[in-house]
Amino acid sequence: MSGDSIRDERLRKLELLNAAGMDVYPARTARNTSNIVFLDTFEELTKSAKHVILAGRILSRRGQGGIMFADVNDGTGKVQIVLQENEMDAVLFKLFADTVDIGDFIEVKGKAYTTKRGEKSLLASEWRMLAKSLAPIPDQWFGLKDEEKILRERYLDILLNPEVKAMFERRSKFWQSAREFLLERGFYEAETPVIETSPGGADARPFQTHHNALDIDVYLRISLELWLKRLLIAGFPKVFEIGRIFRNEGQSREHLQDYTQLETYEAYSDMQNGMRFAQDLYRHIVNEVYGKYTFEIGDHTVDFAEEWPLIDFVDVIEKEFGINALECSDDDAIRAARDAKVLTESDDNKARAIDSLWKSIRKKISGPAFLVNVPVYLEPLAKRAAENPAVVERFQIILAGSEMGKGFSELNDPIDQRDRFEEQQKMRDAGDDEAQRLDEEYVKAMEYGMPPAFGFGVSERLFSFLENRPAHEAQIFPLLRPKSD
């Protein structure tokens, strides 16, 4: 039967329900217990012969004649419903047989009942429709190879695939465990603006739109950083936010344009303390969510319980490519990237070329490890190292060949900050649309005084890596192009 024919048949059944005086889409249900509670208290309910009312979606139907069975799932568990003609109104029994399909939501009143096969069930005395489904749940969903269809109809994927549902339950626990870790350590959870007049805090291309009421162009935020650091200036010693950020860039297995990010800032701390903080945070998350420390991610085996080594950025670049990332010229860096066959279209300056060289090395590192001693020209917001002002007090966590979190001693010198913003603005004016803008308002805030601090950020990419899935598969409803006819 075609999809249109099935829909027509279900509409006919809907009319039968209406003709019988049954509200097909009622606003309320009399449900008084969940399926999981029903099953957990089944022995007690059997002894008391107490009537209970369950509700949920029918996932299967079978039987004929004077007895029918249906499996009903309410999201907490599945319960078998038994309908016997001699145990309920004959008209209501026949209406069930004539109108109820897999996918419908129903409410059932009855008593706890054990079948001859020993299955815990509900023996129905009454039922009513809660929502008639007009489209059938696919019989052949499992093994479906059309990735776009799976993602576009993710609600069916979650409904029919317990592993997918469990993944999104872990995703919720992932962020909850991070939040609990921070709240237990005295952090204040903030909500900062999503719409900005000047996007900052990262090297990224923003989404731009027009604010009609104010008649100005605005941007979706590309980072949480600059607003949260204003809160340090305001006197909060520890702040964090778990929020959505938006970057109008390319899409890949690891990168999406809108995703959830965690950023934390702690006054009177620094990069050295921050490495211990980040290590504890990651270990807490993986233990709470997965109950283990070792993961297989792509071609890498990662053990969070092991000690995390330090990788010196300048040393590893020089060892691999024979070029000093601190002393080389733009031409030398571009030439080295070209010789290494890692040159990209944006490698038209020293910073981009050196970054491409590093990324070719990074792919081979399993980690977890800390990347340190990054040149100041690659990080405009971190404090310079006292022992070597050419590098910053910044680390990145390297995991399974990728960067999976970044932390640094925050720059709190407004004069140095302005100089670095101006260098970034020059790069932007020269055509690098991912370079950062000069943010006058942020510099002004810094001039009132900002305490020494440590900042750290990690995105939902960590979750997708722990799941060993592409980033878009680990999002519950990833952005897709509108479906063409």
Residue 121 belongs to a domain with what CATH number? 2.40.50.140
Last residue of a domain, one of 97, 131, 165: 131
Give the closest residue to 313 by CA, choosing from 324, 304, 300, 303. 324
Q: Residues near 147 by Cβ (< 8 Å), separated by ≥ 6?
A: none
Q: Same domain, yes or no, for 390 and 247? A: yes
Q: What is the CA radius of gyration of the chain?
A: 29
Measure the CA–CA gap between 367 and 310, rounded to whole angstroms: 10
Q: Same domain, yes or no, for 262 and 374? A: yes
With both helix axes pointing from N to C terminus, report the angle between 3-19 and 90-99 in degrees, rounded to the nearest 10: 160
| 325 within some domain | no
Q: Same domain, yes or no, for 16 and 127? A: yes
| 274 within some domain | yes
Edge-to-edge strands, sheet with 374-375: 374-375, 388-392, 384-385
The domain of 185 spans 156-309+367-474
Q: What is the pLDDT of residues 29-53, one digit of tens each?
A: 999 999 999 999 999 999 999 999 9
Q: Residues near 47 by Cβ (< 8 Å), separated by ≥ 6?
A: none
Q: Per the structure block, which two tokens stand in for 305?
A: 């319980």
Q: Same domain, yes or no, for 171 and 55? A: no
Assign residue 417 the CATH number of its domain.
3.30.930.10
Give the closest residue to 254 by CA, choosing from 463, 430, 448, 15. 463
Q: Same domain, yes or no, for 100 and 207? A: no
Instruction: Look at phi and psi of residue 201 and say left if phi exceeds 0, alpha if psi is from -120 to 50, else beta.
Output: left
Q: Which residues of the chain have pLDDT under 50?
A: none
Q: Same domain, yes or no, for 101 and 204? A: no
Q: Same domain, yes or no, for 117 and 236? A: no
- The predicted pLDDT at position 109 comes to 97
Last residue of a domain, one of 96, 131, 166: 131
- Written in H, E and C, the secondary structure of 299-329 is CEEEECCCCCCEEEHHHHHHHHHCCCCCCCC
- The predicted pLDDT at position 297 comes to 95
| 342 within some domain | no
| 122 within some domain | yes
- The predicted pLDDT at position 347 comes to 60
Q: Same domain, yes or no, for 406 and 296? A: yes
- The predicted pLDDT at position 340 comes to 86
Q: Same domain, yes or no, for 108 and 216? A: no
| 320 within some domain | no
- The predicted pLDDT at position 316 comes to 94
Q: Which amino acid, 406?
A: K
Q: Same domain, yes or no, for 164 and 287? A: yes
| 74 within some domain | yes
Q: Same domain, yes or no, for 121 and 160? A: no
- The predicted pLDDT at position 434 comes to 66
Last residue of a domain, one of 83, 98, 131: 131
Number of domain units in the chain: 2
- The predicted pLDDT at position 144 comes to 66
| 485 within some domain | no
| 463 within some domain | yes
Q: Same domain, yes or no, for 13 and 84? A: yes
CB 208 within 8 A of CB 217: yes
Q: Which residues of 75-114 are buried (b: 16+ CB within 10 A; e: fewer)?
A: eeebbbbbbeeebbeeebbebbeebbbebbbbbbbbbbbe
